[in-house]
Amino acid sequence: MKKVAVTILFISAVYFLSAQQKFEPSLQSFADNYKCPDWFRDAKFGIWAHWGPQSLPGQSDWYGKQMYMQNFYDKKTKSYTGKPHPDYEYHLEHYGHPSKVGYKDILPLWTAEKFDAEALMKLYKRVGAKYFVSMGVHHDNFMLWKSKIHRWNSVEIGPKKDIVGLFQAAAKKEGLHFGVSEHLAASYNWFQTSHGADKTGPFAGVPYDGANPLYEDLYHPKSEPSDTGWLTTSRVNQLDWLKKVDELIDLYHPELLYSDSKLPFDTIGWQMLSHFYNDNIQNNNGKLEAVYNCKQGDSNSMWVHDIERGLNDSISIFPWQTDTSIGPWFYKKKDAKYKSATEIIQMLVDIVSKNGNLLLDVVQTPEGDLEPVVVNILEDIAKWTAVNGEGIYGSRPWKIYGEGSSVSEKKESGPFGGSKDFRSKPYTQADFRFTKKGENVYAFCMARPTNDVKIVSLAKNSKLIDKPVASVEILGVKEKLAWKQTEEGLVVAKPAILPDSHTIVFKIGFKK
């Protein structure tokens, strides 16, 4: 009887697990079975630690590639300049020639001695983030987790810490959803500069350290001449990517996974994605709570489309995400430019009104803490979300996303669009964005009003509403407002005291 009982239990367990294997590695399976989870739709705002050893030199983004560029290729002119990249010159001055002192030698110098995941997560929760994303691996092929298959990782080298694990534990403690980003798919060709050599000067023809077979597992094998795209065509490299990303999934079971590309490598990418979704189901009692972000917007029903430094220009049927940075992607010692709290809040409101989320990179120093200027920006955002988050979190788009000249004028959309400088023209108090939650509509006045406000979309004869307005309040204002609903719009008298913010939120209720 005991053997029979054990056999039944075993069969039941196998059946239960197989029943959870909902996704097959095919686009059809993703289209048939995927639905964006409510937690992501409700969250609206996430913070990202786009951080790693490339922070150490303080030259901002792509140091690992550009330090090997004696002849700088200018993307704007699409030609070689014949001049060294500033990162090459910096490396030569501060570390040595890349044939002798390469990126591998930067890695042990990055010790992240002030890194405190718990302190950061407490701050990010107070700022209003509902999910947090840790860098897993950037294009530099250096893993920020305790890898069993790759020696170039943050536990063995540099900080001697499991960065992903520490971030995950801290996020869980604060009740934040947790994700990781992988930029590895582009690494194989991105790092090919390390296989080169100077064309001129005393080191002309001397190979950089990436050409040394001893370090091939960091810099990758030399690509075929025809393999020059953002994503490698090498099957060997593609399988290497799959093995490493699968390890990240298996060790940490993240709720969100971000790829810095379209879904990589066709059928190999399908294998990864089905594994990610199925792993999530198994770790959530049979319920899919996974979000996969990639930059492929033609299949929003299969994942969540991510737009880097850009945005949609209308309400999307499917949830989507903008990822951008509070400043440069990586720490920059000099001349770093940061967005103001007002710009970030306006960006968040505009994105949410169109059914999107904002994932904001908060720049960490090489040591792992935050600069005072960054902390001050975050504190200002925290003040705003504490008062106005009611109109953001858990909301859904209204019938239109906004009104005013910022809606009627031609807008940039897509990646690397408006959110770089988000908006060249300042908003006026006639510019509004809308969300809906329950029976209430929230109207976000995108510029601090200097006199009475008129919301045209809520006029008495507006086709957008089928019930008269019953109540109007400003979040954070106790004063009873004077208002009237006319045929021209909902007119609200400016109160004596407004909240200390550039973006004011009106909560509008309707008669039942």
| CA–CA dist 250, 210 (Å, integer) | 30
Task: List pLDDT tens digits, range 332-381.
Answer: 999 999 999 999 999 999 999 999 999 999 999 999 999 999 999 999 99
Task: List pLDDT tens digits, range 465-488.
Answer: 999 999 999 999 999 999 999 999
Beta carbons of 143 and 154 less than 8 angstroms apart: yes
Count of positions (residues) in the chain = 512
Helix (H, G, I), strand (E, B) or coil at 121: helix
DSSP 143: B
**CATH number of the structural domain 397-510:** 2.60.40.1180
DSSP 221: P
Q: Where are the chain's structural domains?
A: 11-59+103-294, 397-510
Longest CA–CA separation in the chain, Å = 83
**Residue 40: per-residue pLDDT:** 98
pTM (two decimals): 0.93
| CA–CA dist 338, 336 (Å, integer) | 7
Residue indicated by tokens 């019953």 = 470
Amino acid at 221: P
Task: List pLDDT tens digits, range 221-233.
Answer: 999 999 999 999 9
Residue indicated by tokens 């170039």 = 152
Pick the CATH number of 11-59+103-294 from 3.40.50.620, 2.60.40.420, 3.40.50.300, 3.20.20.80: 3.20.20.80
- What residues are paired with 485 via a beta bridge? 490
Helix (H, G, I), strand (E, B) or coil at 507: strand
Task: List pLDDT tens digits, range 124-151.
Answer: 999 999 999 999 999 999 999 999 999 9
| CA–CA dist 400, 441 (Å, integer) | 11
| CA–CA dist 460, 482 (Å, integer) | 16
**Residue 9: per-residue pLDDT:** 42
| CA–CA dist 460, 491 (Å, integer) | 11
Residue 424 scores a pLDDT above 70: no
Q: Measured at the alpha carbon of residue 372, what is the angle toward residues 369 and 378, in degrees to the nearest 5?
A: 85
> Do strands 79-80 and 73-74 pair parallel, antiparallel, or not at all (unpaired)?
antiparallel
| CA–CA dist 251, 154 (Å, integer) | 15
